[in-house]
Structure 1
Amino acid sequence: MPLLKTRPSLAMKISAGLSLIILLGLGSWQVDRLFLKKDLIEMRQAQAQMPPIAVPTDTVLDPDMAFRAAYAEGRYLNDQEKYLMARTRRGNVGFQLITPLEQEDGRIILVNRGWVPQDYREPETRPDSLIEGPVRVSGVLRLPSEKHWAQPENDAIRNQWFYVDVNHMAEDTGADLASPYYLELDDTPIPGGLPIGGQAKVELPNNHLEYAITWYSLALTLIVMFVLYHRRPSSDDEKDAQA
């Protein structure tokens, strides 16, 4: 005797339908994220590979300039180092060192020189990093960052910075800003090996395809389970078959 389908309850239909909509929505969202991330990576790569320009001064902040290859000249104000806290590298905790670069007119460009292990926070532990005299440094332009809801407030008194607020940092330095951008240095070796440059994330992880496949696979699994479940014989059908 052929097996008859079990009639699904209204609650089960609604639950399965809502779950399917959510899973398909999450999969489609990840597909959108996939292409957005791809475009972002390509934009950063293109900007970083362009011929470097001098860090723009006396200009309005342009978001399209993010990660543009650039250089700056000046003199480090080593006594005004700023520590960008809670930065990791290869699983090790440390900070990123931001040092004002003084221009001829006395204004400054903020320079993120790279990552330093926590044990080398005190300048005397890394004397080679205290470069004196005129320098020319290169890297990529970065935009000031805004405070994330989970980040602590910057603490200038304790020299603990958790996001790059160029205006606050310049105020703490006691100098005027020459540029609304800051420069994040490349991995050009420096004496003593610290700080370690090249921390700008031009390459970003793009796992959204895997996430999309996961959500779509769960949606397909839900459909298969729904169909198989409702192709089972009902209890009445089983009794009739046994009779």
Structure 2
Amino acid sequence: MPLLTTRPSPAMKICVGLSLVILVGLGSWQLDRLFWKQGLIEQRQAQALMSPIPVPTDTVVDPSLAFRAAYADGRYLNDQEKYLMARTRRGNVGFQLITPLEQEDGRIILVNRGWVPTENRAPETRPESLVEGKVHVTGVLRLPKTKHWAQPENDALTNQWFYVDVDHMAEDSGAELASPYYLELDDTPVAGGLPIGGQAKVELPNNHLEYAITWYSLALSLIVIFVVYHRRPAEDKDDQDHNGQAA
């Protein structure tokens, strides 16, 4: 069956051309994100697997130390617990427990000890978590956080924190910070099972390859539709012309 090639209108050319640029651009952007995410995951994994270092004190923040394996010694100030709200684990809602770790000089290092279900917010419901005496804890270094635009404001009066503000938390604890970092503990088992450590997201979701394939597939589909539409069987064109004349 002979094919009849029709010439697309300038408006259609412009629309299809712009759509292709956008679709290919989105696919390429997702590929860039893929390589960036892979590098970030590899960096975090490497940092977490290094030999632990003491939590740096009396220093400025070094971004390259994010997720570096680290340890700290001290005494928990259990009466100064902070609750990092709206944290989930396996579909269950709870909070992450941040406790100041007092150093020998009286200054503190903030320690994110892990996840606790909402029903165990009251310390008396988890007495074994109120560890007394000197402790040695291990985990990864985390950098100070800044408030995301969608996060509520921290409320020290009700002890509801939505992001880690090390300066504000130290001030609320009535102590001086020993380190600008905070330590997020690993999944070493603890007495009573709470808090559940190992909440640091060393592994990150990486779906960018699937997204890139989706955008490129849409671009290819658009090209195919465009070509097929303008290369129709001649009898289809004759039928259209005949219907137009009959009308």
Aligned partner letter, 1:159: N
Other-structure match for 2:7: 7
How far apart in 1 are the matches of 2:19 and 2:93? 41
Report the AA paired with residue 191 of structure 2: P
Deviation of residue 241 (structure 1)? 9.2
What amino acid is the match of 2:149?
A: W
CA offsets 1:55-101 (integer angstroms, 9 cap, x no match): 00000100000000000000000000000000000000000000000
Which one-letter code corresponds to 2:4 in the other structure?
A: L
Alpha-carbon displacement from aligned partner over 1:147-175 (angstroms, at most 9, x marks no partner): 11110000001100000010000010010
What does 1:48-87 correspond to in 2, within 5 Å?
48-87=48-87
Q: Distance in 1 between matches of 2:235 and 2:77?
A: 83
Change in 2 beyond 3 A, CA 1:4/1:171: same
2:97 equivalent to 1:116: no
1:91 aligns with 2:98: no
Query: Is this contact kept in 2: 1:137–1:185, CA < 8 A?
Result: yes
User: Residue 193 of structure 1 corresponds to which residue in structure 2?
Assistant: 193
Alignment match, 1:25:
25
- Structure 1 moving runs of 4+ over 6 Å: none
Query: Offset of 1:184 from its aligned partner?
Result: 0.1
Residues 191 and 227 from structure 1, CA distance in 2 versus in 1: closer, same or farther, beyond 3 angstroms?
same
1:113-148 per-residue CA deviation (whole Å, 9 max, x = no partner) reads 000000000100100000000000000000011111
> Normalization by structure 2: what TM-score?
0.95
Q: How far is the alpha carbon of 1:5 from its aligned partner?
A: 1.2
Matches of 1:240 and 1:178 in 2, distance apart? 81
Change (3 A) 1:123 1:173: same
Question: Within 1, Cα distance between the matches of 2:123 and 2:237?
Answer: 82
Give 1:139's aligned residue: 139
Distance 1:151 1:237 in 2: 59
In 2: Cα distance, 1:220 partner to 1:109 partner: 55
Query: SS of 2:191's equivalent?
Result: coil
CA apart distance, 1:237: 4.3
Structure 2 gap ranges (5+): 243-247
Q: Contact between 1:30 and 1:208, CA under 8 Å: does it hold in 2?
A: yes
Percent of aligned pairs with the same amino acid: 81
Distance (whole Å) between structure 2 residues aligned to residue 126 and residue 108 of structure 1: 23
Report how far residue 4 of structure 1 moved.
1.6
Q: Secondary structure at the match of 1:56?
A: coil
In structure 2, the residue matched to 1:130 is 130
Amino acid corresponding to residue 85 of structure 2 in structure 1: M
- Count residues in correspondence: 242
- Tell me the equivalent position of 1:231: 231
Is contact 2:2-2:234 (8 Å) kept? no
Residues 174-193 of structure 1 aligned to structure 2 (within 5 Å)? 174-193=174-193
How much has 1:232 moved relative to structure 2?
Answer: 2.0
What secondary structure does 2:28 align onto? helix
